[in-house]
Copies of this chain bind each other. A is one copy, B any other.
Amino acid sequence: MPDPRLAAQLDFLLTCDRLKAVQRTTRLHDGSRFENSAEHSWHLALMALTLAEYAPAGTDMEQVMRLLLVHDLVEIGAGDLHFDAAAKALNQQHAAEAQAAAQLFALLPEAQAAEFTALWQEFEARHTPEARFARALDALQPMLLTWGQTADGAGGLGCTETFPELTVQRVLELKRSALAEFPQLWQAAEQLLREAERAGVIKP
């Protein structure tokens, strides 16, 4: 490559292709296969575009999109984590992700590496309104795929095979910290679970 800066950026982008091979524990809505983290990230950015009105006034939606595009990249080195994992596994996961982030972002020119690292850290810290809204979408999306119903009647198939112990009450406990501060999204999540319970794909 004649331009080493651009060559480094393209090398980074090619390495990011590996996110398409990181499998999540959520199935696509039709149940056909597990979702990967790259298409998941796209879905979240599209949610940000579609559901922007439910973020508090003044939330920078461009930043929300940036956070969502980048938030899972560290899984390229570290893998995805079950959302109900024990605290010990979580700590190990954080260490593995920090190492993966350092390695991956180091492929970029220095100032840009710092920018991407900052995006990832902002998402992880969940302090800014942008990171909190991004995290809420990240919490809502797998619920939609797993238990959601389209208006034309296609229903999510649940996840009793992968997580037989999950109940409406347990899911709400797990999701409350990410979602409850966005009342409309939280209400929609509760409603979605109640409908899935009536459809018999999750226990109360």
Name which residue of chain B comes closest to A8, CB basis.
B151
Residue pair A10, B188 in contact (C-beta under 8 Å) = yes
**Does A164 have its Cβ within 8 Å of any Cβ on chain B?**
no
Residues of B within 8 A of A148 (CB): 10, 14
Residue pair A2, B191 in contact (C-beta under 8 Å) = yes
**Does A50 have its Cβ within 8 Å of any Cβ on chain B?**
yes
Residues of B within 8 A of A144 (CB): 10, 13-14
Which of A27-35, A86-94, A124-132, A171-179 forms contacts with chain B? A27-35
Other-chain contact of A16, B17, B46, B149, B151 (Cβ < 8 Å): B46
**Does A6 have its Cβ within 8 Å of any Cβ on chain B?**
yes
Which of A37-45, A75-83, A196-204 forms contacts with chain B? A37-45
* CA A12 to CA B145, docked complex, whole Å: 12
Tell me, rounded to whole Å, the shortest Cβ–Cβ distance linking A155 to chain B: 10
Name which residue of chain B comes closest to A54, CB basis.
B6
* CA A192 to CA B108, docked complex, whole Å: 18
Residue pair A6, B188 in contact (C-beta under 8 Å) = yes
Identify the 5 closest CB pairs spanning chains A and B, nearest first: A42-B42, A38-B39, A62-B62, A39-B39, A17-B29
What are 27 residue pairs bridging A and B, where the CB atoms are less than 8 Å apart in the complex? Answer: A1-B192, A2-B191, A3-B188, A6-B51, A6-B54, A6-B184, A6-B188, A9-B50, A11-B151, A13-B43, A13-B46, A13-B51, A14-B144, A14-B150, A17-B30, A19-B42, A20-B28, A21-B30, A38-B42, A39-B39, A39-B42, A41-B42, A42-B42, A42-B45, A42-B69, A49-B70, A50-B112
